[in-house]
Amino acid sequence: MEIIPCTQATYLISKREERALTLSERIQLFVHLIICEFCRRFLEQTKIISKEARRLVSEESLTEEEKRKIQEELDAIGLNRRNE
């Protein structure tokens, strides 16, 4: 089995955040990660970024007052689609 280059490994690391890798892709990535410290670091960084992004999405980021103001502005320009 040929060891994949870092460009392919980082692509697979990113891809696995969106969907499952095939068995072949998982094996190729595993073998590459055994020998490449930089891609292991990229994997850890990607995990941290994904975890924080999920956390931010799950939190309510706007206060009720901010939501009300935005809704008023949308209503003022005719973009109120909440009731449609």
* Residues 6+ positions from 15 with CB-CB distance below 8 Å: 21, 25
Q: What is the pLDDT of residues 44-76, one digit of tens each?
A: 999 999 988 887 777 667 778 888 888 888 888
Domain extent listing, the chain: 6-76
Q: What pLDDT does residue 7 have?
A: 98
| Residue whose pair of structure tokens reads 């935005």 in the numeric block | 70
Encoded tokens for 72? 């008023």
Distance CA 11, CA 9 (A): 5
Q: What pLDDT does residue 83 have?
A: 47
In this prediction the pTM is 0.66
More confident residue, 80 or 36: 36
Q: What pLDDT does residue 62 have?
A: 74
